[in-house]
Amino acid sequence: MIYSGDTYTFSTLYQGKEDLTGVEGLCTFKRKVDDSENLVQVTGVVNVQEKTITFTLTSQQTESLRVDSVGDCGFSTVVYDTQLTFENGVVETTQKGKGRIYHDVTRA
């Protein structure tokens, strides 16, 4: 669950057999899959031994994920994915989906 205006950190566990040495992890958020512009894109911290990639969004980045909502529902919907780029140029999507960005009430 992501709250607009909050710092948000999450990790993903890599299930593959490849070594993660030299891998770059990216997480991209958009309004819709086919949008040409990203709302936010962050680089992850790769832990080679644990096979995890940790992504952190600043409060400014989560605020930028707040897009138009319908009525008074109090949230926006965005799409996202996480991708790894290996040293040999291979790109692998490890996670994707839709997310709700809950609007801040305290600082509204």
User: Model-level pTM greater than 0.95?
Assistant: no
Q: Is the pLDDT of residue 99 over 70?
A: yes
Strands (DSSP E) found in 1-108: 2-3, 8-13, 24-30, 40-47, 52-57, 75-85, 91-102
Q: Is the pLDDT of residue 26 over 90?
A: yes
Q: What sign does the CA torsion over 49, 97, 33, 37 have?
A: negative
Predicted pLDDT at 66: 83
Segment 87-97, tens digit of pLDDT: 999 999 999 99
Q: What CATH number belongs to 2-102?
A: 2.60.40.10
Alpha helices in the chain (DSSP H): 59-64
Closest CA to 25 of 55, 60, 51: 55
Token representation of residue 68: 């138009």
Domain boundaries, the chain: 2-102
